Structure 1
């Protein structure tokens, strides 16, 4: 069996498991940019900021603020995880290589950027299904309204906050600081 096919089968199994109610974000797996599967247990014990991203969005300059947070707090156990999404205005049309190139060349992004996914609908990635369940939006809405919706996850893998696309990364810094102060 080819590695790509094995990765796709693992991902489909993980999607099914996600629908059955996994709760800790760091117990889940996601699709890696190379088409394989990335196990989020690699981030266990860290504070995470998970963001659906796009290269051609009015909020795209937030990559700069996300990278600044990543660089400032990475040595304290903080990680930004980017998930490109093309569901909002077709603002992420590129393939994995184009997205990686854009992020690196335009914003010098060093945080992990995973495979392009859907965040809403029947093909929504299980990670984002769990994030939306854990932290609904305004008036209890679960759907993600636009690119650069952000989810803050504590060291135990619990989603603790959801931020609108209009929330700038630097405006989340105090919440990140609070979570980083807690070791458990």
Structure 2
């Protein structure tokens, strides 16, 4: 099993098999629009812009589990991300990332992340670096600024 084994719903309501990202390095992030870390959208977009031509993708998964900081509908999320941060990387429908209703992808990510003892996601903007084969390479804490992991991403590319 790898990340490519899962399917997720996009903000537009379409089921997307993550196998479509086979051969690409991924940064998977749980996001929120009303969080103190929300400005990371800007640096995520800059990271995406600088590497998108090198088989790199960012997948954003809005989550309302932390302080109800993602209360809007999928349409609200799409408008917020586009208008405020110019987000052009793939955003998915809202998911739970912890607990019994956690999306299977996040159950997998939290179990497979190296050097983390299968811990729950602590907050919005936890990041997972995934290699071209769909294997989890690294997990980054919410406060890790996206630009600081550029060298890690380039090493996997």
TM-score with structure 2 length normalisation? 0.97
Q: Shift of residue 142 of structure 1? A: 1.8
Secondary structure in 2 matching 1:176 = helix
Q: Unaligned stretches of 5+ in structure 2?
A: none
Q: Please identify the structure whose Cα radius of gyration is greater.
A: 1
Q: Shift of residue 137 of structure 1? A: 6.7
Of Structure 1 and Structure 2, the greater helix share is in: 1
Q: Unaligned stretches of 5+ in structure 1?
A: 1-22
8 Å Cα contact 2:124/2:142 also seen in 1: yes
Partner of 1:166: 143
8 Å Cα contact 1:136/1:142 also seen in 2: no
Secondary structure in 2 matching 1:145 = coil
User: Which structure 2 residues correspond to residues 2-151 of structure 1 after superposition, within 5 A?
Assistant: 23-135=1-113, 138=116, 140-151=117-128
RMSD: 1.1
8 Å Cα contact 2:111/2:118 also seen in 1: no
TM-score with structure 1 length normalisation? 0.83
Cα deviation 1:66-112 (Å, max 9, x = unaligned): 00111100100000000000000000000000000000000000001
Q: Shift of residue 128 of structure 1? A: 0.4
Q: Which structure 1 residue ranges, 4+ long, deviate > 3 Å from structure 2?
A: none
CA pair 33-137 structure 1, distance change in 2 beyond 3 A: farther
